[in-house]
Amino acid sequence: MKSVYRALAGLISICVVIQAMAIALAWFTVLKDTDDGLVFDKNSDPNVGHLIHSIVGSMVIPLLAILLLIISFFAKVEGGVRWALYVFGLVALQFGLAAASFGAPVVGALHGANAFALLAVAGIAARKAAASSTVTTAASAETSTEATA
């Protein structure tokens, strides 16, 4: 279960990086298309960057965060439930910040900053699981060495 916890936390981190890449692709595509004479308004179709950002942000990351929280109760990672709750809370906050950004675009800067916080916290959660696995493996090896002596 520790490896599942670590994998989920790592996948969340990877998804945050994908989010940053997707939104950069989205808006640079809009800028290029505008330079080419196209008009971007509320009737424009979303480009591939916007679609990726929307799908990963509204479905993939929340699903991974929920799974991480569920697994955290069984993984026996030291502090695992707490770090999974931090991840879950930051994902929930990300939704709120995104929704608020449509009415007050300046809040979008907090949406971006929160993404960096999510990246860091998910990375810490993954490292906690890795460290917990290392300690368990070392303790098991020490116990088996003592048993044979």
Per-residue pLDDT of the chain (149 residues; tens, 9 = 90+): 999 999 999 999 999 999 999 999 999 999 999 999 999 988 888 899 999 999 999 999 999 999 999 999 999 999 999 999 999 999 999 999 999 999 999 999 999 999 999 999 999 999 999 987 665 555 555 555 555 55
The verdict on residue 46 lying in a domain is yes
Residue 111 maps to a domain: yes
Q: Which domain holds residue 101?
A: 2-140
Tokens of 49: 């960057």
Fill in the amino acid letter for 116: F
149 located within any domain: no
Q: What pLDDT is recorded for position 139?
A: 52
103 in any annotated domain: yes
Q: Which pTM was predicted?
A: 0.86
Number of structural domains the chain divides into: 1
Residue 148 counted as domain residue: no
63 found inside a domain:
yes
Structural contact between residues 6 and 133, judged by C-beta atoms closer than 8 angstroms? yes
